[in-house]
Amino acid sequence: MSDHFATNLKLACSHYRSISEVCRQLSINRAQFNKYLSGQSRPTPFNLKRIGDFFGVEDYELNLPAEQFERLIGARISTVAEQPGDPISELFRPLHEHAGNLSRYCGYYFEYSNCMSVPGTILVSLVHLWEEQGRFLFERQERQERSSATDQHAEVRCRYLGAAFQLQDRVFLIDYESLTFNEMSQTILIPSFKSRITRLNGLKSGVSSGDRRNPACTRVVWEYLGEEINRINAYRQVKLYRPDDPRIDDDVRERLSVGPLRNSLFEIE
């Protein structure tokens, strides 16, 4: 195992509130995990696979050169300092001041959508929404297996990073693809007016990852999983599904296909 592992593991852990949280979700002893971080010990193949699944990377990617791994996983999102003369910060300053509080929505979600790149399939993504320094940030992970001429089981992985705003009675989410920097997307959700969040309806616009990169729009359903989840198990469910797959329930299928596009946002439980 390369000498880059400990450095890469520290970077991956920086996406979480604490090392203790990572150890708790991985069910790995904190003292043992500290040895991984310091380079004093290397994980067994079994633990290495668990760690990779938890962070959404392959085993070998944890051993890449640090700069290459940083580009792969993306640096931890930090709030852009609002410095005088920064036009983007100045542009978004009024938006931050008028945005609502999304604290009750923080946590993990499965996002169901009609896949823009592989028509006729349903894409399940994993979304994490959290609050940082008074701003609401999110990460969305996608994974698609596709057939190709050179590799029958080619896998495409995407990791989107973005910011969320509640403006009046809608939730707006804007993100970019952090591994290739070749796409931005926007999602608009209808918030829940119930005491308990279950599923949220909305629309997402972006581009197909095919050669023509056609602009596209799809209905989406966000299914709330909780503030803390088993990321390993959740990430294993991130992939493409056939519409008739029994793991996609009838309610999700109906929400993704109901009525004209202009009316789809109003099909609320």
Question: Which residues lie across from 37 on neighbouring strands?
Answer: none
Residue 54 has pLDDT above 90, yes or no: no
* Residue 140 confidence (pLDDT): 96
Q: Which domains occur in the chain, in start order?
A: 5-73 (1.10.260.40), 87-266 (2.40.128)
Q: What is the pTM of this model?
A: 0.65
Q: Kindly report the backbone phi and psi dihedral angles of residue 39, in degrees, each rounded to the nearest multiple of 5, phi listed first.
A: 85, 5
Residue 27 has pLDDT above 50, yes or no: yes
**CA-to-CA separations, 167 to 45, 79, 111, in angstroms, rounded:** 47, 19, 21
* Residue 258 confidence (pLDDT): 60
- Please report, rounded to a whole number, the percentage of residues in the chain having pLDDT higher than 70: 86
Average pLDDT on 14-22 reads: 83
Asked if 165 and 184 count as a contact pair (C-beta separation under 8 A), the reply is no
Q: Can you tell me the distance from the alpha carbon of 158 to that of 2, in angstroms, rounded to the nearest whole number?
A: 25
- Please report, rounded to a whole number, the percentage of residues in the chain having pLDDT higher than 90: 45
Model pLDDT for residues 68-106, shown as the tens digit of each residue: 888 787 644 333 334 455 687 778 888 887 899 999 999
Q: How confident is the model at residue 269 (pLDDT cuts 50, 70, 90)?
A: very low
Asked if 205 and 217 count as a contact pair (C-beta separation under 8 A), the reply is yes
Average pLDDT on 164-185 reads: 93
* Residue 265 confidence (pLDDT): 32
Question: Which residues lie across from 51 on neighbouring strands?
Answer: none
Measured N-to-C along each axis, helices 45-55 and 19-26 cross at an angle, to the nearest 10 degrees, of 120
Q: Can you tell me the distance from the alpha carbon of 189 to that of 221, in angstroms, rounded to the nearest whole number?
A: 9
* Residue 260 confidence (pLDDT): 41
Asked if 62 and 9 count as a contact pair (C-beta separation under 8 A), the reply is yes
Average pLDDT on 31-45 reads: 91
Number of H helices, E strands in the chain: 8, 9
Burial 138-159 (b: 16+ CB within 10 A, else e): bbbbbbbeeeeeeeeeeeeebb
Residue type, 59: D
Model pLDDT for residues 207-230, shown as the tens digit of each residue: 876 667 889 899 999 999 999 999
Q: Kindly report the backbone phi and psi dihedral angles of residue 130, in degrees, each rounded to the nearest multiple of 5, phi listed first.
A: -145, 165
Average pLDDT on 194-200 reads: 88
Model pLDDT for residues 106-163, shown as the tens digit of each residue: 999 999 999 988 888 999 999 999 998 788 999 999 998 765 555 556 788 899 999 9
Question: Which residues lie across from 184 on neighbouring strands?
Answer: 176
Q: Can you tell me the distance from the alpha carbon of 170 to that of 188, in angstroms, rounded to the nearest whole number?
A: 7
